Structure 1
Amino acid sequence: MKNQSVEVTFMMAGMRQRRRRWVLVTSLLTVLAGVLCCAMLLLGNTIYPVQEVIRTLLGEQIPGVSFAVNTIRLPRMLAGLFAGFAFGIAGYIFQTILRNPLANPNVLGITSGSSAAAVLCITVFHANNSVISIASIIGGLMTVVIMYFLSQGKSFSIGRLILIGIGIQAMLDAVISYLLLVSAQQDIPAALIWLNGSLNGSQIEELPPLVITVIIFTPIVILLGKHLNMLELGEHMASSLGVATNKTRIALIVSSVLMIAIATATTGPIAFVSFLAGTIANRIVGVSFSNIIPAGLVGANLVLVADLIGQFAFEYRFPVGIITGLLGAPYLILLLIRMNRKGEL
């Protein structure tokens, strides 16, 4: 009995330590996101005083400042914050459900479905931004529905889903390449800017769907976070622990797909954010607790940092997706090397 009491005390102490680490890291990520949001509002061709920016945000009209902050910087900051948060959460959910750190909506073809629909609207139908956004959302949703039904056999198979996703991504990427090849020259720049992922031209009127989606579905995936961790143990283990695996998986996939489809429709497919956010969150927090919120915050911070780098670190300004690609590619190589050494590949 005494040995059992010591073991229980040791386990409880370890759990408290892990909880403190989760709270500390999440708090630091929140503070960092706040600092980056302030930087997005303050920095630009003209650096405005903090007092003027605050007065402008409170509704006061200040010549020059009001236009720069309310029309350009605030929509850009909100788009980066909420889109990065959505990408981060969606990537973490897919990596956890599929039990593979390399799995993410980009690899599985979901963002390719959104991209193909958007490029079709830009190059063939010459549609406006609203139609492009709606088509992008529909394209992402149709892609995941097709993937899910094709992956159904006698039982759900992670390997089957990944293989089908990779195949669909290859097909959709070929469609995108064909559309760019046969489209008019004047349509190609707009399509390429969208495909690279960019916060340029973000408008406050286009953000409500993204903001509302993140606000609605984040609590849902948080409530399902405990079941998500059980799904990571495997299908049979989760079922034995009382988890309705199919219902939980569908709810999580639908929530994450809606968030990433609307985020993609708003900013374009920002490369590597959904891949990086979950793995970074697990490394800095640990895997004992649900890292849904830390993954979302890592995603938001990645997008905001990358956009600031793209705006001010080079002679020319680069879209945020190019910077996240430059940051993500080396990390992917290091992860592959590490997994190969551990025999996980």
Structure 2
Amino acid sequence: MRIRAVRSRGLSVRLDIRALTVVVLLIVAALVASVVLIGTGDFPIPAADVIRTLMGNGDAGQEFIVNELRLPRVLVGLLVGAALGLGGALFQSISRNPLGSPDVLGLGQGSTAGALIMIVLFKGSAFQVAGGSLVGGLLTGLAIYVLAWKRGVHGYRLVLVGIGVSAVVMAVNGYLLTKADLVDAARAVVWMTGSLNGRGWEQVWPLLTLCAVLVPLVLANARPLRMLEMGDDVAYALGVRVERTRMLLMLSAVLLTASATAAAGPVSFVALTAPQLSRRLTRSPGPNLVPAMCMGAALLIVADWASQRAFGADQLPVGVVTGVVGGVYLLWLLVTERKAGRI
């Protein structure tokens, strides 16, 4: 159901009730899961005490556990999930293809290559590994854009080029692992799984700053992005600067994905599944940017909670859970697309 509210001075606002309801429910689910996750661990804390501590009324022990140990991890999870969900929605909308996600296009592999170079060749610190991951993701995104360019960047060409780049970068990553000593190889494999273990405020602030800049920029271009989904010719006719808008949004998507990977490692399939699930819930046309962002945050927090409840905080990285769920979803999506005759 949609309503149109008309205000003074010619300003008209259309409100999609179903989409708004989905967004509110996803935010509530993410917040509830966050409170439960903060209370989960070797020292369990009831949800009421977690809320009281977050409001500044907990005892000294709870203040330390909640604010210094568990809250940063949860915030990184929320920000990483939101960044991946939004980045995936942008790529799928630009490519007009449900398979056009950073996981398929190889951006995660590019970020992994940057991190492996810092780990294996330079014995880098955690900060240097994060920086290498960010640079690797950006360079991979640039390579995909350049190689896919032919009088513009279009759907399946972008996906096919991304798959090819991903295969090449995977080979490079395999070579780097064979050159690593045992300690560096073990460190690299742990990072490559994707995990929120040990994440602190030093990961929260850079990611929060980047999201604070990029999210409003992306949302401000939501209308041109929706026109791009209709095709370049239609977008040109409607006054959209097609290549400028596409390049700006692709750069934003690459930055969001690369920064999320730098903060938590290559968490698999959140960028693929979150936009698709949110679109099915809202049943709305267009990129569904805000629902995808909220879905990504909720998915990652729930996955982290599930991994801790099943195996303990330090035994199963969240990337394993999202990889299993996302892999099943990818198989279902491929079967669905094949039956529809689109692949």
- What is the TM-score with the length of structure 1 in the denominator? 0.91
Determine if the alignment matches structure 1 residue 78 to structure 2 residue 111. Answer: no
1:161 aligns with 2:158: yes
Other-structure match for 2:237: 240
| 2:303 maps to amino acid | A
- Cα distance, 1:75 vs structure 2: 1.1
Which residues in structure 2 correspond to 1:206-217 (within 5 Å)?
Answer: 206-217=203-214
C-alpha separation in 2, matches of 1:64 and 1:11: 49
Give the SS at the match of 1:198.
Answer: coil
Aligned positions, number? 334
Q: 2: distance between equivalents of 1:53 and 1:179?
A: 43
User: Is 1:184 matched up with 2:181?
Assistant: yes
User: Take 2:249 and 2:151, find their aligned partners in 1: how far apart are those partners?
Assistant: 21
Q: Give the distance between the partners of 2:223 and 2:154, measured in 1 at CA.
A: 21
Q: Answer yes or no: is 1:340 the counterpart of 2:305.
A: no
In the TM superposition, what is the alpha-carbon distance from 1:240 to its structure 2 partner? Answer: 1.2
User: Residue 7 of structure 1 aligns with which residue?
Assistant: none
Structure 2 residue corresponding to 1:118, chosen from 111, 115, 119 = 115
1:18 Cα deviation from its structure 2 partner: 7.8
Aligned residues of 2:76 and 2:203 also touching (Cα < 8 A): no
Quick one: which amino acid aligns to residue 325 of structure 1? G
Alignment-mate amino acid for residue 324 of structure 1: T
User: Please, which of 83, 87, 94 is the counterpart of residue 84 of structure 2?
Assistant: 87
> Where does residue 65 of structure 1 map in the other structure?
62
* Contact 1:26 1:294 survives alignment (8 Å): yes
Shift of the 186–247 alpha-carbon distance from structure 1 to 2, 3 Å rule, reads same
1:39 to 36, 41, 66: 36
TM-score (norm 2): 0.92
Question: Aligned with 2:99: secondary structure?
Answer: coil
Structure 1 residues 42, 142: closer, same or farther in 2, change over 3 A?
A: same
Contiguous gaps of at least 5 residues in structure 2: 5-12
Range with greater deviation from structure 2 (95-104 or 38-47): 38-47
Query: SS state of the match for residue 164, structure 2?
Result: helix
**1:245-286 CA-partner distances (Å, limit 9, x unpaired):** 111101111111111111100000100000001110110102
Alignment partners' CA distance in 1, 2:255 and 2:41: 32
| Mapping of residues 188-267 of structure 1, within 5 Å | 188-267=185-264
Cα shift at 1:204? 0.8
AA in 2 matched with 1:209: P
By how many angstroms is 1:72 displaced?
1.9
- The separation in 1 between residues aligned to 2:288 and 2:154, in whole angstroms, is 24
Percentage of matched positions with identical amino acids: 38
Are 2:302 and 1:292 equivalent residues in the alignment? no
RMSD: 2.1
Structure 1 gaps, min length 5 = 1-9
The reply to whether residue 171 of structure 1 matches residue 168 of structure 2 is yes
One-letter code aligned to 1:190: R
Deviation at 1:343, TM superposition (A): 1.2
Aligned 8 A contact 1:226 1:290 in 2? no
Task: Give the superposition deviation at 1:219.
Answer: 1.1
Indicate the SS of the match to 1:154: coil
2:302 to 291, 301, 305: 305
* 1:181 shift after superposition: 1.5
Q: What is the alpha-carbon distance in structure 2 between the residues aligned to residue 308 and residue 266 of structure 1?
A: 18
2:324 pairs with one of 309, 323, 326: 326
Tell me if the contact between 1:18 and 1:288 (Cα under 8 Å) persists in the aligned partners: no
User: CA distance change for structure 1 residues 18 and 205 in 2, over 3 Å: closer, same or farther?
Assistant: closer
Task: Name the SS for the 2:98 alignment partner.
Answer: coil
d(CA) in 2 for partners of 1:169 and 1:301?
27
Any idea what the Cα deviations from partners look like across 1:159-215, whole Å, max 9, x if unmatched? 332222111111111111111112101112211111111000101122211011111
The answer to which of 85-94 and 115-124 deviates more is: 115-124
SS at match of 1:106: helix
Mapped contact 1:141–1:257 kept (Cα < 8 A)? yes
